[in-house]
Amino acid sequence: MSVQPRKELGQHFLVDENILRVIGRLSELAADDVVLEIGPGRGVLTRFLAERVAHVHAIELDTRLEQELAGIDRVSLHWGDALRFDLDTLQPVPRKLVANLPYNVATPVVVESLLRQELDLWCVMVQREVADRFFAQPSTKAYGAVSVLVQLTVERSGFHPVSRDVFRPRPNVDSALVAFRRIAPGAGAAVKLLVEASFSHRRKTLANAVALAGLVSRERAVQALTDIDRDPNVRAEALAPHEFVALAQALA
């Protein structure tokens, strides 16, 4: 391997092409698709996508990979940090996000991408723990702010455990492919702030957590919880995603 993966970038390059067929199925690729790929690495998935869709936008931070990614038909390479990249500049507009996401940015990339109304389907390779967190149920250890924000926006359409042996270097954690499609515009700014504040102190009650986060006073949070028929001493992990929407409306 000419370019060595960098741990600080969360790089684990895909080397087993057998997993590509699973990605193709879960991402429901069509000839007219425009796809966004984040962290293309050495281009194994990039080439697979480019052979099957109309266009691929690949955003890569590591410029050492320029030679390996150059010259792939129907692919536009964009160099930079995906979390800071202006996706409004991408033409044609991507409708799907299909990627082996770098471990260290997988969660924020997914959460931020939910705000992109033009995206309607995702198929991402992430740590198994992260994949489980996306669709965790209330009152479970994995359930948190990310679970709420994801589930207010999308529904899971596919899941596939992935062996550690498909990557180089071989990671120390399990991975999974998870696919989901948009069912709603997603959490608005007020709901997002409330969700993040509610889970900011997991050992505290929700009312105490939002007060400690400086969002609203404890008394106001208690009244809002009462308004939606919830115990004032409830913790954030007990509320279903739709209840955070109701709570935000009560606070407003």
CA distance 250 to 225: 8
Instruction: Give, in order, the Cα–Cα distances in Å from 211 to each of 189, 199, 222.
Output: 18, 12, 10
pLDDT (tens digit per residue) in 140-189:
999 999 999 999 999 999 999 988 887 766 667 889 999 999 999 999 99
Give 6's DSSP letter: -
pLDDT (tens digit per residue) in 151-165:
999 999 999 998 888
Banded model confidence at residue 84, pLDDT cuts 50, 70, 90 = very high
Q: Which domains does the chain have, with CATH numbers?
A: 7-182 (3.40.50.150), 189-251 (1.10.8.100)
Structure tokens at 111: 């959460």
pTM: 0.90
Q: Taking 50 as the threshold, does the pLDDT of residue 1 lie above it?
A: no
- Provide DSSP, 65-85: GHHHHTT-TTEEEEES-TTT-
Helical axes 241-251 vs 189-198, angle rounded to 10°: 110
Q: Taking 60 as the threshold, does the pLDDT of residue 37 lie above it?
A: yes
CA distance 73 to 156: 31
Instruction: Answer yes or no: are the C-beta atoms of 152 and 162 closer than 8 Å.
Output: no
Q: Taking 90 as the threshold, does the pLDDT of residue 133 lie above it?
A: yes
